[in-house]
Amino acid sequence: MTPPPFSTGSLFCVAQNNVHDQLSSSMTWSSVSLSLLDSFWLFLALCFLVAFVAHKASAHLSRGYRKSSLFTLFQDLIRYGKTKQKLHRAEWLRVFDVPKRWFWHFYAISVCWNVFLLLSSFAFIYQLQSYPPWLTGMLEILTGVPSSGGQAPQPSTVLVQLLLCVHSLRRLLECLFVSVFSDGAMHPVQYLFGLGYYVVLGLTALCSDRMAEGPGSFGSQLDWIHLAGFVLFIMASLLQHRSTVLLARLRKGKSGRVETLAHTVPEGGWFELVSCPHYFAELLIYISLGFVLGGLSFTWWLVVLYVFFNQALAGQLCHDFYISKYESYPKHRRAFIPFVL
């Protein structure tokens, strides 16, 4: 059987489809422009990637360079708590140290700020009260997208705001009533960064509305990926809390009272696989929030990328500390991702 003749109409349709595909491709690429917020998170991710690589490479540096002031400053900026103990610093640098136990300040600010944003979203949805002009202006600057005025927050965004509040409140309560902090310290730059971190994070969650397609009923916008993200959030939160409890028990007696502030080898739970399962849980929490947002928020995956490199650096520093202090430290343990890193 011979094929049908290739008509002029068919040729026109093929050409039209090709033009359409090219236009769609160009539109797709042109839409991948980085906003100010995207650039911020990408910059942070790259900074911690460079810091992680530099730290790994520092083991091969000459002893003379590792005693230099530049190397000491770098280590002072990336270390905190127990990983700062063996760092030889000038006395004047120690004057500016901030107690690590002040971690609770970060979560206190996070609870207050994210609760405010959550209540603002509820007021928008149920009372039709727009965001304050100053907040709308901040969102426009961060995203580069003009305010639509009457578009209410997306259900997935509100759910992420709620989970951020839950996460921050849990971490605040753990810092105040579960964790047992030693006399460890952190750099003032780390402290100031921590104070502003959750403020920007809350704004990032709210900015996801700017890339959403439009409002809809709560049930119509939630599907299996949002449910999977919620389940992962619960599981990761339980893992982090369990790990925090196990760390606290290392310094408490059977009565529950603090008996020592010394550092010992953690055991039990996921500590049998990695040195820092609480850091791994932190990464999983941020991944879960990406799923709750529908998995399509490019900005949020940049946040996840930052968290990955941030926790990788912190986990590697802790892992190196345990290895250097305990000769019998289990060799099969990784830093913070089981069997991988």
Q: Cβ atoms within 10 A of the Cβ of 145, count?
A: 13
pLDDT of amino acid 320: 94
pLDDT of amino acid 211: 55
Domain count along the chain: 1
Q: Tell me the CA distances in angstroms from 145 to 33, 57, 137, 206, 270, one per residue in order.
A: 12, 41, 10, 13, 43
Q: Does 113 reside within a domain?
A: yes
Q: Does 2 reside within a domain?
A: no
pLDDT of amino acid 66: 72
* E strand segments, 185-252: 185-186
Q: Do the Cβ atoms of 25 and 287 come closer than 8 Å? A: no
pLDDT of amino acid 15: 41
Q: Does 188 reside within a domain?
A: yes
Q: Does 17 reside within a domain?
A: no
Task: Answer yes or no: pTM beyond 0.85.
Answer: yes
Name residues of the chain where pLDDT drops below 70.
1-32, 148-150, 209-222
| Chain segment 218-273, per-residue pLDDT in tens | 444 568 899 999 999 999 999 999 999 999 999 988 888 888 888 899 999 999 99
Q: Does 334 reside within a domain?
A: no
Q: Does 227 reside within a domain?
A: yes
Q: Does 129 reside within a domain?
A: yes
Fill in the DSSP letter of residue 99: E
Domain that holds residue 248: 36-325
Q: Does 91 reside within a domain?
A: yes
